[in-house]
Amino acid sequence: MYWESRPVGISTRIVVVDDQPDFPAAIKNVLGEQSDLEVVGEASDGREAAKRCHRLRPDLVLMDVRMPRVANLEATRTIKGESPSPIVLVLGALEEPNDLSEALKAGAGGYVLKTAPIAEIIDAVRKVFMRVSSLSQEDATRLLMYEKPPRPNRNALAWSQANDHRRSATAG
pLDDT score of 66: 73
pLDDT score of 34: 93
pLDDT score of 104: 77
pLDDT score of 158: 52
**pLDDT of 118 strictly over 80:** yes
* 48 touches 21 (CB < 8 A): no
Instruction: Give the Å distances, CA to CA, from 96 to 9, 93, 103, 141.
Output: 39, 6, 11, 14
pLDDT score of 2: 38
More confident residue, 29 or 93: 29
pLDDT score of 142: 55
pTM for this one?
0.71
pLDDT single digits (tens) 125-167: 999 888 776 655 565 555 555 554 445 455 545 545 555 555 5
CATH classification of the domain holding 29: 3.40.50.2300
For the chain, the domain total comes to: 1
Sign, Cα dihedral of 62, 41, 131, 127:
negative
Lowest mean pLDDT among 34-38, 81-85, 166-170: 166-170
- The domain of 143 spans 2-171
Question: How much is the mean pLDDT over the chain?
Answer: 76
Lowest mean pLDDT among 36-40, 84-88, 91-95, 137-141: 137-141
What are the residues whose beta carbons fall under 8 Å from the beta carbon of 103, sequence distance 6 or more? 65, 72, 73, 76, 88, 90, 92, 111
